Protein backbone atom coordinates (compact mmCIF):
# COMPACT_ATOMS: atom_id res chain seq x y z
CA UNK A 1 0.00 0.00 0.00
CA UNK A 2 1.54 3.33 -0.99
CA UNK A 3 1.64 6.37 1.34
CA UNK A 4 -1.55 7.97 0.04
CA UNK A 5 -3.59 4.75 0.25
CA UNK A 6 -2.33 4.20 3.80
CA UNK A 7 -3.72 7.59 4.91
CA UNK A 8 -7.25 6.57 3.95
CA UNK A 9 -7.18 3.13 5.55
CA UNK A 10 -9.15 2.10 8.62
CA UNK A 11 -5.92 0.92 10.24
CA UNK A 12 -4.28 4.31 9.80
CA UNK A 13 -7.31 6.08 11.27
CA UNK A 14 -7.29 3.67 14.23
CA UNK A 15 -3.58 4.33 14.79
CA UNK A 16 -4.25 8.08 14.87
CA UNK A 17 -7.07 7.51 17.38
CA UNK A 18 -4.70 5.48 19.55
CA UNK A 19 -2.22 8.40 19.56
CA UNK A 20 -4.85 11.06 20.29
CA UNK A 21 -4.32 12.32 23.87
CA UNK A 22 -8.04 13.19 24.08
CA UNK A 23 -9.42 9.92 22.70
CA UNK A 24 -10.43 8.71 26.18
CA UNK A 25 -12.87 11.62 26.44
CA UNK A 26 -15.21 9.89 23.96
CA UNK A 27 -16.19 7.56 26.82
CA UNK A 28 -17.56 10.58 28.71
CA UNK A 29 -20.35 11.04 26.15
CA UNK A 30 -23.44 9.09 25.13
CA UNK A 31 -22.83 8.68 21.42
CA UNK A 32 -25.73 6.93 19.68
CA UNK A 33 -24.91 3.46 18.40
CA UNK A 34 -25.72 2.52 14.81
CA UNK A 35 -28.24 -0.04 16.08
CA UNK A 36 -29.95 2.63 18.19
CA UNK A 37 -30.16 5.00 15.25
CA UNK A 38 -31.83 2.29 13.16
CA UNK A 39 -34.25 1.24 15.93
CA UNK A 40 -37.82 2.49 16.10
CA UNK A 41 -37.96 2.54 19.90
CA UNK A 42 -35.87 3.61 22.86
CA UNK A 43 -33.28 1.17 24.19
CA UNK A 44 -34.24 -0.65 27.38
CA UNK A 45 -31.02 0.29 29.17
CA UNK A 46 -27.93 2.24 28.30
CA UNK A 47 -24.87 0.15 27.67
CA UNK A 48 -21.35 1.54 27.77
CA UNK A 49 -20.08 -1.59 26.06
CA UNK A 50 -20.74 -2.15 22.40
CA UNK A 51 -19.21 -3.94 19.48
CA UNK A 52 -16.76 -1.84 17.46
CA UNK A 53 -18.89 -2.24 14.33
CA UNK A 54 -21.86 -0.68 16.17
CA UNK A 55 -20.04 2.56 17.08
CA UNK A 56 -21.04 5.64 15.14
CA UNK A 57 -19.23 8.86 14.35
CA UNK A 58 -21.25 11.81 15.67
CA UNK A 59 -20.59 15.05 13.83
CA UNK A 60 -23.57 17.16 14.93
CA UNK A 61 -21.83 19.24 17.58
CA UNK A 62 -23.13 22.54 16.19
CA UNK A 63 -26.75 21.42 16.48
CA UNK A 64 -27.17 19.03 19.37
CA UNK A 65 -23.89 17.71 20.63
CA UNK A 66 -23.48 14.29 22.15
CA UNK A 67 -24.88 14.10 25.68
CA UNK A 68 -22.23 14.10 28.41
CA UNK A 69 -22.76 11.04 30.61
CA UNK A 70 -22.74 13.24 33.72
CA UNK A 71 -25.93 15.03 32.57
CA UNK A 72 -28.31 12.33 33.79
CA UNK A 73 -26.68 12.33 37.24
CA UNK A 74 -26.71 16.14 37.45
CA UNK A 75 -30.37 16.31 36.42
CA UNK A 76 -31.23 13.80 39.14
CA UNK A 77 -29.30 15.94 41.65
CA UNK A 78 -31.28 19.02 40.60
CA UNK A 79 -34.53 17.08 40.93
CA UNK A 80 -33.48 15.81 44.37
CA UNK A 81 -32.66 19.38 45.43
CA UNK A 82 -36.02 20.59 44.16
CA UNK A 83 -37.96 17.81 45.87
CA UNK A 84 -36.12 18.07 49.20
CA UNK A 85 -35.47 21.83 49.36
CA UNK A 86 -38.17 23.45 47.25
CA UNK A 87 -37.60 27.19 46.91
CA UNK A 88 -34.56 26.97 49.22
CA UNK A 89 -32.70 25.37 46.29
CA UNK A 90 -32.26 28.91 44.98
CA UNK A 91 -29.95 30.01 47.78
CA UNK A 92 -29.20 27.18 50.24
CA UNK A 93 -25.87 25.41 49.57
CA UNK A 94 -25.90 21.69 50.35
CA UNK A 95 -22.68 20.19 51.71
CA UNK A 96 -23.06 16.89 49.85
CA UNK A 97 -24.04 18.41 46.50
CA UNK A 98 -21.65 19.36 43.67
CA UNK A 99 -24.25 21.83 42.40
CA UNK A 100 -24.15 25.57 42.95
CA UNK A 101 -27.27 27.15 44.37
CA UNK A 102 -29.67 28.01 41.56
CA UNK A 103 -29.22 31.71 42.29
CA UNK A 104 -25.47 31.38 41.66
CA UNK A 105 -25.60 28.95 38.72
CA UNK A 106 -24.96 31.62 36.07
CA UNK A 107 -21.96 33.01 37.98
CA UNK A 108 -20.47 29.52 38.33
CA UNK A 109 -20.99 28.94 34.60
CA UNK A 110 -19.25 32.24 33.79
CA UNK A 111 -16.31 31.27 36.04
CA UNK A 112 -15.99 27.97 34.16
CA UNK A 113 -16.25 29.46 30.66
CA UNK A 114 -14.12 32.60 31.16
CA UNK A 115 -10.69 30.89 31.00
CA UNK A 116 -11.72 29.00 27.87
CA UNK A 117 -12.53 32.22 25.99
CA UNK A 118 -9.70 34.25 27.57
CA UNK A 119 -11.94 36.59 29.53
CA UNK A 120 -12.75 37.56 33.08
CA UNK A 121 -15.90 36.00 34.59
CA UNK A 122 -17.50 39.46 34.69
CA UNK A 123 -17.06 39.68 30.89
CA UNK A 124 -18.88 36.42 30.15
CA UNK A 125 -22.58 35.63 30.20
CA UNK A 126 -23.81 32.07 29.80
CA UNK A 127 -27.37 32.13 28.57
CA UNK A 128 -30.09 30.18 26.81
CA UNK A 129 -29.70 28.72 23.33
CA UNK A 130 -28.46 30.36 20.15
CA UNK A 131 -32.02 30.77 18.86
CA UNK A 132 -33.31 32.30 22.11
CA UNK A 133 -30.28 34.58 22.32
CA UNK A 134 -30.79 35.78 18.74
CA UNK A 135 -34.41 36.56 19.60
CA UNK A 136 -33.34 38.52 22.71
CA UNK A 137 -30.72 40.37 20.65
CA UNK A 138 -33.30 41.31 18.02
CA UNK A 139 -35.81 42.47 20.63
CA UNK A 140 -33.20 44.70 22.24
CA UNK A 141 -31.46 46.15 19.20
CA UNK A 142 -33.50 45.73 16.01
CA UNK A 143 -35.37 48.97 15.37
CA UNK A 144 -36.75 48.79 11.83
CA UNK A 145 -37.34 52.03 9.94
CA UNK A 146 -39.95 51.63 7.22
CA UNK A 147 -38.29 54.46 5.27
CA UNK A 148 -34.78 53.14 5.79
CA UNK A 149 -33.20 49.91 6.94
CA UNK A 150 -35.85 47.36 7.79
CA UNK A 151 -34.59 44.00 6.53
CA UNK A 152 -32.42 41.35 8.10
CA UNK A 153 -30.09 39.53 5.73
CA UNK A 154 -29.33 35.98 6.77
CA UNK A 155 -27.35 33.23 5.09
CA UNK A 156 -29.55 30.63 3.42
CA UNK A 157 -28.16 27.63 5.28
CA UNK A 158 -28.36 29.06 8.79
CA UNK A 159 -29.66 26.87 11.58
CA UNK A 160 -33.39 26.52 10.74
CA UNK A 161 -34.72 28.20 13.87
CA UNK A 162 -32.53 31.25 13.19
CA UNK A 163 -34.98 32.13 10.42
CA UNK A 164 -37.87 32.41 12.87
CA UNK A 165 -36.21 34.01 15.90
CA UNK A 166 -37.07 37.55 14.87
CA UNK A 167 -39.32 39.63 17.15
For 75-94, how does the pLDDT look when each residue is reduced to its tens digit (9 = 90+)?
999 999 999 999 999 999 99
DSSP H or E stretch at residue 144: none
Query: Which of 106-110, 129-133, 139-143 has the weakest average pLDDT?
Result: 129-133
pLDDT value for 3: 58
- Asked if the model's pLDDT at residue 47 lies above 80, the reply is no
Dist CA 140 CA 162 (whole Å): 16
Instruction: Give percent of the chain with pLDDT exceeding 90.
Output: 50
Domain-wise residue ranges, the chain: 3-67, 69-123, 130-164
User: Please, which residues have CB within 8 angstroms of residue 158's CB and are 6 or more apart in sequence?
Assistant: none
Show Cβ contacts of residue 113 under 8 Å, excluding neighbours closer than 6 positions: 124, 126
pLDDT of residue 52: 75
- pTM: predicted TM-score of the whole model, two decimal places: 0.69
Please give the pLDDT value at position 67.
94
pLDDT digits 0-9 by tens, 2-44: 556 777 888 898 899 899 999 999 899 999 999 999 999 988 7
- The residues near 57 (Cβ < 8 Å, ≥ 6 apart) are none
Q: What is the pLDDT of residue 75?
A: 96
Judged by average pLDDT, the poorest of 2-16, 54-68, 100-114, 135-149 is 2-16
Reply yes or no on whether the pLDDT at 165 is more than 70: no
**Under a CB-based contact definition with an 8 Å cutoff, are residues 162 and 154 in contact?**
yes
Report pLDDT for 97: 93
Amino acid sequence: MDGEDQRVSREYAASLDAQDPLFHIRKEFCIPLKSQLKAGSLPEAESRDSLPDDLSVYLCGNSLGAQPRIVSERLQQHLATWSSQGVFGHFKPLSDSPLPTWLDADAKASESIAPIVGAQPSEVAVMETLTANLHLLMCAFYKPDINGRHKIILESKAFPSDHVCNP
